[in-house]
Amino acid sequence: MIGDSGKGALVDLRSDTVTRPSAGMRRAMMEAELGDDVFGDDPTVNRLQSQAAQLLGFEHALLFPSGTQSNLAALMSHCGRGDEYLVGQEAHTYRYEAGGGAVLGSIQPQPLANRADGTLDLAELEAAIKPDDPHFARTRLLALENTIGGKAIGRRYFDEALSLARRKGLAAHLDGARLFNAAVKLGVPAKELCRGFDTVSVCLSKGLGAPAGTLLLGSEALIHKARRARKILGGAMRQAGIVAAAGLYALEHNVARLAQDHANAERLAVGLRGAGFDVEGPHTNMVFVTAPPGFADHLVNNEILVLAGPRMRLVTHLDVNAAAIDRVLAAARSFASAAAQTRG
Ligand SMILES: Cc1ncc(COP(=O)(O)O)c(C=O)c1O
């Protein structure tokens, strides 16, 4: 069985999306009051949407099945055919969403290099904004991400980036799939990290532990457009209160505890460094390790699931406890000492 890590079962460090709903969350889902959300009749969805809008400082929120769809609906709400959005090379909305903006929205991405801290250089950003000229796509939107690669970006950078966007007449979208990780890490209310963005997308199904669901937040006018985009994209669900109940439970029970995931990532990074590995981070709930050949196989043989690659990302979450981290470290140390013996 995957999960209940630290009790001898598999330890799954592939992503914080692998969590399964806890008993309490399942109970909340079972007991949810339901209606047809396409008619706006689902009381649990409505409660989640209004609670989230209030929590994060927006007029409205809209529940989507996934973060990918919420981000795409945001792009489609800000941009039309032949428009362009500025986005980081490493951003999920550019790199990991199958080019949805271009494929389904006829929106051109203008990717820019992310700096080591995950931000975009503002001079480069400004230089990439196209003049109003029929040769060019119309630059309409700046899309940022927090956390990005686990790195939490603070208010000061957003103030500068958003003031540039305003000066240039651009709208601003934040992919806040892990917004609450950033807020907990920086010790600020999540609302503080949303201020100034026209839309923010927040996933319930990553560190917050819900099985599905992402909220898009924005003004009444933008959410009206996003609702149409959601319909086009096939994301309007019927008795979606089952999903919303998990989201409400997650917002109530699983935000403050993200600090434990960050502490476990710290424990993992310190332990791996101690065992001689080349480690980057921790960045909130993520640790990056340069993986020697054979390391991923060794972990898998020890019932530790990872995504293999030369720069391995290890992610902590609510199904990984400190004992599970210690199992990973024991496996890493046994790999390192076997490698040292082979060399010696
Ligand atoms: C930063 C970020 N944004 C968006 C998404 C997309 O979320 P989903 O998998 O729900 O489509 C992910 C998924 O991992 C993500 O990491």
Q: Closest Cα partner for 97 from 173, 208, 12?
A: 173
Q: What is the pLDDT of residues 315-343, one digit of tens each?
A: 999 999 999 999 999 999 999 998 888 87
Which amino acid is it at 105?
G
Under 8 Å between Cβ of 177 and 152: no
Most ligand 1 atoms within 8 A of CB, residue of 19, 63, 66, 68 to mutate:
68
Q: Strand 60-64 vs strand 311-315: parallel, antiparallel, or unpaired?
A: unpaired
Q: Average the pLDDT over each of 5-9, 129-133, 264-268, 298-302 and give the range with the smallest value.
A: 5-9
Q: Kindly tell me if the per-residue pLDDT of 60 is higher than 50.
A: yes
What residues flank ligand 1, with Cβ below 6 Å? 17, 66-68, 71, 92, 145, 175, 177, 203, 205, 214
Return the ligand 1 atom nearest residue 214 CA: 10
pLDDT, residue 70, reads: 98
> How many CB atoms are closer than 10 A to CB 82?
12
Q: What is the DSSP letter of 292?
A: P
* Pocket-testing residue among 14, 64, 71, 92, ligand 1, by greatest number of atoms within 8 A of Cβ: 92
- Write the DSSP symbol of residue 132: S
Q: How close is the Cα of 335 to the center of ligand 1, in Å?
A: 32
Query: How far does residue 90's CA lie from ligand 1's centre (Å)?
Result: 12
- Closest by CA to 70, choosing from 291, 229, 297, is 229
Q: Is the pLDDT of residue 2 over 60?
A: no
Which residue's CA is the nearest one to ligand 1's atom 4? 67
Cα 20–chain centre separation: 17
Q: Which of 7-16, 81-90, 180-189, 214-223 has the lowest mean pLDDT?
A: 7-16
What would the pLDDT profile of 247-298 be if each residue is shown by its tens digit? 999 999 999 999 999 999 999 999 999 999 999 999 999 999 999 999 999 9
Cα 299 to ligand 1 centre (Å): 25
pLDDT cut 90: percent of the chain above it: 95
- Residue 343 is predicted with a pLDDT of 77
The predicted-structure confidence for 63-115, as pLDDT tens digits, reads as follows: 999 999 999 999 999 999 999 999 999 999 999 999 999 999 999 999 999 99
Q: How far is the CA of 204 from the centre of ligand 1 (A)?
A: 10
Q: What is the pLDDT of residue 8?
A: 57
Q: Of ligand 1's atoms, which has the minimum distance to the CA of residue 66? A: 10
Residue 4 confidence class, pLDDT cut points 50, 70, 90:
very low
Atom of ligand 1 nearest to the CA of 70: 11
Asked if residue 170 lies in contact with residue 132, where contact means CB atoms within 8 angstroms, the answer is no
pLDDT at 3 over 80: no
pLDDT at 207: 96
Question: Quick one: pLDDT band at residue 6, thresholds 50, 70, 90?
Answer: very low
Average pLDDT over every residue of 191-216: 98
What percent of the chain has pLDDT above 70?
A: 97
Q: What's the pLDDT at 7? A: 44
Give me 222's structure tokens.
């933008």
pLDDT at 21 over 80: yes
Q: Residue 197's CB: how many other CB atoms inside 10 A?
A: 26
Helix ranges (H only) for 100-154 are 100-105, 122-128
